[in-house]
Amino acid sequence: MTELKKRPVRSYILRQGRLTKYQENGIKRFSSKYTIPFQKSLINFDQVFSKKNKIILEVGFGMGDTTFKMAQEMHDLNFLAIEVHSPGVGSLLNKINLGQLENLKIIQHDALEVINEMIPDRSLDGIHIFFPDPWPKKKHHKRRLLKSSFLELMESKLALAGYIHIATDWEAYALQIIDLVKESKFYKISKRNLNEKPQSRPLTKYESRGLRLGHQVWDIIITLR
């Protein structure tokens, strides 16, 4: 009898929801121009982007509002954004086309597989992880994206002067991340006031709703030692 392969623990549950006509149209019309298919070979960023700028990877962009605004305002950076959910992909594709952005590309696939298979070592100047699912129930903590194994993987992909910027409004998750960084031999926290939003990160709709509810937001920026 062959042994069953153990299924990996995902940091998300794939609930696609219904695509609006506008989102569906965005995927049909603009995927070929602005998305990169998942493949088990390393990306050549010089071929993907028209300009040789620093590379920022965003893991899980939701509906893409923050991603689009940052790429639109920061023409001197190239953004590679990963998301699994089609409504967000369709929404961001429409935004990219309307803005005619050349410095933003999308991969619709599991982020860990993309990072393992497609991202060259020491190629990323920044990694953005804004409001990852906190999986608040203790039995679901194993689904949290940010764990020691993930941080170790990210270390190999970061350029020596690179950074990871994590934002969360879930205090227990923030404290866990801080502990992981303190325990890591690779990283240090470079931002002193963790409850002050950097100007470079736009305010999100999700964040605005949380602030109205009295939630505190943590912006944790870490660099290599």
* CATH number of 165's domain: 3.40.50.150
Predicted pLDDT at 135: 63
Write out the residue range of the structural domain in which residue 180 sits: 21-224
- pLDDT tens digits, one per residue of 127-182: 999 999 886 777 757 879 999 999 999 999 999 999 999 999 999 999 999 999 99
Question: Which amino acid, 187?
Answer: Y
Question: Within a domain: residue 129?
Answer: yes
Mean pLDDT, residues 57-76 taken together: 96
Predicted pLDDT at 76: 97
The yes-or-no answer on residue 110 being catalytic is: no
Question: Within a domain: residue 2?
Answer: no
Predicted pLDDT at 140: 53
Distance CA(90)–CA(173), nearest Å, equals: 29
Question: Within a domain: residue 9?
Answer: no
Distance CA(176)–CA(66), nearest Å, equals: 25
Question: Within a domain: residue 194?
Answer: yes
Residue of 110, 133, 179, 219 with catalytic role = 133
Question: Within a domain: residue 93?
Answer: yes
Residue 35 backbone phi and psi in degrees, to 5: -115, 155
Residue 6 has pLDDT above 50, yes or no: no
Question: Which amino acid, 75?
Answer: H
- Both tokens assigned to 16: 């696609």
Predicted pLDDT at 142: 84
Comparing 7-11, 34-38, 180-184, the range with the smallest average pLDDT is 7-11
Number of H helices, E strands in the chain: 8, 7
Average pLDDT, the chain: 90
pTM comes to 0.90
Bridge partners for 224 per DSSP? 187
Mean pLDDT, residues 4-30 taken together: 73
Predicted pLDDT at 207: 85
Residue 205 has pLDDT above 90, yes or no: no
Predicted pLDDT at 7: 47
Question: Within a domain: residue 68?
Answer: yes
Question: Within a domain: residue 120?
Answer: yes
Question: Within a domain: residue 12?
Answer: no
Question: Residue 128 in contact with residue 59, Cβ under 8 Å?
Answer: yes
Residue 45 has pLDDT above 70, yes or no: yes
Residue 3 has pLDDT above 50, yes or no: no
Question: What is the number of structural domains in the chain?
Answer: 1
